[in-house]
Structure 1
Amino acid sequence: MDFPVTFHIFGKTILAHPLFEAVGMFLGMRYYFYLKRRSKEKLSFNTSAAVLIGATAGALIGSKLVGNLENPYALFEDFSFGKFWSNNTIVGGLAFGLIGVELAKKVVGHKESTGDMIVFPLMLAMIIGRVGCFLTGIYEETYGIPTDSVFGMYLGDEYLRHPVALYEIGFLVMLWAVLKYVQKLERYPSGFIFQIFMLGYFTFRFLLDFIKPRIEIAGPLGTIQFVCICVIIYYIYTLKNTRSLYLKYLR
């Protein structure tokens, strides 16, 4: 396979990553609306609109901000709006999207969790998007460091590298199976599925970034790993508060 993989559509050459990212977002949203129609929990228009706006604004700001702070030295030495806008990371999008949703819920006075329904559509979009990341190889910053392990792959240069996009796809598929099992129990408090997803994914990403090229900000840790630590701490604290409710559901 030659990297980056491209597709010829209507006479134009399109990279795999933006194409799969767009398809992932489209299918994820369709899946979300399908689940929303089937759900017994109905949110008011004001709550739904506030959550959507909060999530979108937070994710947009966070993905750009954290994506650019992965290499803060390059950001401040040679700043350009075009380069700033092109840098993204799902870690920043998820973390700041969460902040945006919580702020929006406070504005409209909604106290219940709204995250469970978005988990599987979000995971679907991420899995499809990561296929695009893999097909782009080393031409976007979604590849691993060189390795001599059996998992090493040639991704567009002379080195065998960790195919971190495939690792993430594998992790998300396994996490999907675990969360579906928990969901079938139907004995958990609202928001529990989303909390487990966030804690699991950010723990995985914290570990995964050790085998990705990164700018070390403090010790061996990069910007994304510091964001992961903050989210992990937040959800450990949140799950402690949820534990009593969960035990109540198990009785």
Structure 2
Amino acid sequence: MKCPIFDFMDFPVTFQLFGKTILAHPVFETVGIFIGMRFYFYLKRKSPEKLPFNTSAAVLIGATAGALIGSKLIGNLENPYVFFDDFNFKRFWTNNTIVGGLAFGLIGVELAKKIVGHKESTGDLIVYPLILAMIIGRIGCFLTGIHEETYGLPTTSIFGMHLGDEYLRHPVALYEIAFLLFMWFELKMIGRKNKYVSGFLFKLFMLSYFSFRFFLDFIKPKIEIVGNLGTIQLVCLSMIIYYIYVLKNGRNLIQPKIIKL
């Protein structure tokens, strides 16, 4: 059986820009980052919690630098044999993964906060802009089909789709979009029930996303590094352990309601 919804499409979807043919993925990725950042600054203007300029600038620089380095480093380490035996700068620059971007972006933010002496969490405001940017980016992944390594393994399930070759494959980009939409709805519902301390929703999102990606990568092509786990799964596993520890050792996650007399 196969999913007939997208049978009319030819993969990969491309755009003509300045006389050059460009895959959908980098186009949607760029648009996603731009819209996500605009959404973040919109929420920041509306937020009652105002950070000093030096703190905001440090966090933004730390997140950007960490995400840029991490996305490319982990993306290239998905196949460490090629990375170490035949290093190519162009290949290094074009390979990336959101898992590395999130993990190293977190490291960059924490280092930046230490430098400026800021101890409070700053993550909640970025959650929904981040989800929005990721959804737009994953649309590009889907439209690129098998022409970048963001596709799933062959499958005989009803969800199988032709993504540019003769096989019916798991449309993992669509799975991820569905998960991100669910997380948006779920985090909104959780946020309405109680007033959580700053950073809780971000930690919950990160734990949920890394857990999802850990299992999703079992149905994606990968180079096995430890057992049957790939590089991305090992990063996910380390982040899952970290966030379980952080949430388990968190105190007073729910802020008490103030009763006015």
Superposition TM-score tier, normalisation by shorter sequence: over 0.9
Question: What is the CA-CA distance between 1:239 and the residue it aligns to?
Answer: 0.5
5 Å-filtered alignment, 1:5-24, equals: 5-24=13-32
> Is 1:125 matched up with 2:133?
yes
Q: Is the 8 A contact 2:13 2:144 kept in 1?
A: yes
Equivalent residue for 1:25?
33
Question: What is the CA-CA distance between 1:249 and the residue it aligns to?
Answer: 3.7
1:151 is matched by which residue type in structure 2? F
- Out of 229, 247, 253, the position equivalent to 1:239 is 247
Equivalent residue for 2:93?
85
Using the aligned pairs only, state the percent identity.
Answer: 74
Q: Is the 8 A contact 1:189 1:249 kept in 2?
A: no
User: Residue 25 of structure 2: SS of its match in structure 1?
Assistant: helix
- Out of 26, 42, 48, the position equivalent to 1:40 is 48
Equivalent residue for 1:61?
69
Q: Which is helix-richer, 1 or 2?
A: 1
Question: What is the CA-CA distance between 1:187 and the residue it aligns to?
Answer: 1.4
- Out of 159, 165, 168, the position equivalent to 1:157 is 165
Over 3 Å counting, the alpha-carbon distance change for 1:248 and 1:49 in structure 2 is closer
> Is 1:204 matched up with 2:193?
no
Equivalent residue for 1:178?
186
Question: What is the CA-CA distance between 1:250 and the residue it aligns to?
Answer: 7.6
Q: Is the 8 A contact 1:188 1:250 kept in 2?
A: no
TM-score (norm 2): 0.93
Structure 2: 5+ residue runs without aligned partners? 1-8
- Out of 70, 90, 108, the position equivalent to 1:100 is 108
Report the count of equivalent residues: 250
Equivalent residue for 2:144?
136
Over 3 Å counting, the alpha-carbon distance change for 1:206 and 1:249 in structure 2 is farther
Q: Deviations over 1:180-206 (max 9, x none)?
A: 112223411110010000000000000
- Out of 194, 200, 212, the position equivalent to 1:192 is 200
Q: Is the 8 A contact 2:28 2:136 kept in 1?
A: yes
1:46 is matched by which residue type in structure 2? N
Deviation >3 Å, runs of 4+: 9-12, 247-251
Q: Deviations over 1:183-233 (max 9, x none)?
A: 223411110010000000000000000000000001110000000011000
